[in-house]
């Protein structure tokens, strides 16, 4: 099971890990920390437990997801939710586990000694993604994101999409024709 959980307050009374724990554990990227079988966002107080994929793989997948569909105003948490289905699928289907683990390993090897997440600029990472764009691995990740990311109701307000409207009586009295700048 993959769980995305809100983390309890750390020992310094701030969300997430304490500074000391953070320094001690280090991690693949500056933003996400690997702890046991979990990927943790110390800054934003959430964690993601993996069951089949390596947590490092999951952290790289999250970065990859953001590089494929970069929205600077969308927090990592939603990218994590969007890719967690790969862990679930990998649990049921060894071929999928292989596809993802090998895909990420390949991505890392193409990215130099610090791996994919070691590349500092999005352009550098995108250049690596371009090399694997037509692989089944890339297409599986990208394809899954189209629904996995954009169909999360929680991200809709970030884009200004209001979703369901029937229960609110439609827009007949809520601005269907409120444009003023024309």
CB of 131 to other proteins, least distance (A): 14
Question: Of the two residues 109 and 165, which places its CB atom closer to other proteins in the complex?
Answer: 165
Angle between helices 94-110 and 122-132 (to 10 degrees): 130
The vertex-71 CA angle with 116 and 62, nearest 5°, equals: 35
Question: Of the two residues 102 and 168, which places its CB atom closer to other proteins in the complex?
Answer: 168
Handedness of CA 88, 51, 12, 66 (dihedral sign): negative
CB of 68 to other proteins, least distance (A): 5
CB of 69 to other proteins, least distance (A): 5
Q: Footprint of other proteins on this chain (CB under 8 A)?
A: 68-71, 73, 126, 142, 146-147, 149-151, 156, 159-167, 169-172, 174-179, 181-182
Q: What is the largest CA-CA distance in the chain?
A: 58
Owner of token pair 């999005």: 122
Question: Of the two residues 92 and 178, which places its CB atom closer to other proteins in the complex?
Answer: 178
């Amino acid at each position: 099971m993959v769980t995305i959980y809100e983390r309890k307050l750390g020992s310094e009374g701030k969300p997430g890990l304490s500074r000391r724990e953070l320094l001690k554990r280090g991690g693949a990227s500056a933003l996400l920390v690997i702890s046991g079988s979990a990927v943790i966002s110390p800054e934003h107080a959430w964690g993601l437990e993996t069951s089949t994929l390596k947590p490092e793989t999951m952290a790289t997948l999250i970065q990859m997801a953001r590089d494929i569909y970069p929205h600077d105003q969308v927090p990592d948490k939603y990218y994590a939710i969007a890719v967690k289905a790969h862990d679930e699928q990998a649990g049921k289907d060894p071929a999928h586990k292989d596809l993802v683990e090998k895909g990420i390993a390949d991505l890392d090897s193409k990215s130099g000694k610090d791996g994919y997440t070691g590349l500092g600029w999005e352009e550098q990472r995108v250049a690596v993604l371009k090399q694997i764009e037509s692989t089944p691995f890339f297409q599986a990740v990208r394809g899954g994101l189209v629904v996995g990311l954009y169909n999360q109701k929680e991200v809709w307000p970030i884009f200004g999409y209001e979703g369901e409207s029937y229960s609110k009586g439609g827009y007949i009295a809520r601005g269907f024709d409120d444009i003023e700048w024309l």
